[in-house]
Amino acid sequence: MGFLDNLKWLIDQYGILGVFIVSLLGNAIPYSTIPYLIFVIIYAGILKDPLMDIWIALAGGLGATVGKLIVYYFGFGLRRILPDQTLRNMEFFTKLFKNSAFIAVLLFAALPLPDDILYVPLGAMKYDLKRYFIALLIGKTIITFLAVYFGSSVAWLFESTTSYPEYVTVPVLLVLTLYLTYLVAKIDWIKLAEITQKEGLLQGIKYLLVQVALYTVHIFIKPIKKILEKTTN
């Protein structure tokens, strides 16, 4: 089995404990992009149990937090090989943004942002571990809960409006999840945050909707282009 197959197997075999382990593994490798939330979404969609959704979100949030602690210590270990001048600059940066670092950690954890670009330097700068853990736990629980809610809601919608069984609803759920994952990877979330901050929420929403539309159209145009290229050649 491949690595992703192993993640699916862990959840299938161990349930809530599997969610914890998969979330931990999906967050423990610095700068990796393991789509662990896909498996969490599908698992929640299969169970369709509001009480279990809470446990899934908590287990996933805690597992992801523990994984990012490993990333923190990875950054901490980098201190030994970084030049003294770089360390002094980092320590100055930490003191300068001491109050806002907690919010930054929380937001990067709760949003689909490349969070290791923040967490590794914070580890290297020896940012307060307790504050780091609390901010992470809140943020990762939020994003896991949203993923779980998405999985359960889509599964419920399909089963309440149609008579299709799980072998139909689960593949549809997987396609929707992959579509959202694609959008999350493509959209420039940092630019979105900058536009929202400078020009207001409405402009931020407008930018987001335009990006979603463009990348959605791209999904359908790209295969057509490849077919046309093959036929012309």
Q: Which amino acid is at 150?
A: F
| pLDDT, one tens digit for every residue, the chain (233 residues) | 565 566 667 777 878 888 898 899 888 887 776 778 877 887 877 777 778 888 988 999 999 999 999 988 888 787 676 666 555 655 665 665 566 778 888 888 887 766 777 787 788 778 889 999 999 999 999 989 888 887 766 555 555 544 555 566 556 655 665 676 567 667 776 777 778 778 887 888 888 889 889 888 888 887 777 776 677 66
171 lies in some domain: no
Please tell me the total count of domains within the chain: 1
CB 64 within 8 A of CB 144: yes
213 lies in some domain: no
Beta strands in 57-203 (DSSP E): none
92 lies in some domain: yes
205 lies in some domain: no
216 lies in some domain: no
Q: What pLDDT is recorded for position 161?
A: 47
From residue 128, alpha-carbon distances to 67, 87, 122, 123, 214 in Å are 17, 16, 9, 9, 41
215 lies in some domain: no
39 lies in some domain: yes
Q: Which amino acid is at 180?
A: L
42 lies in some domain: yes
Domain ranges, residue 144: 3-164
Read off the pTM. 0.62
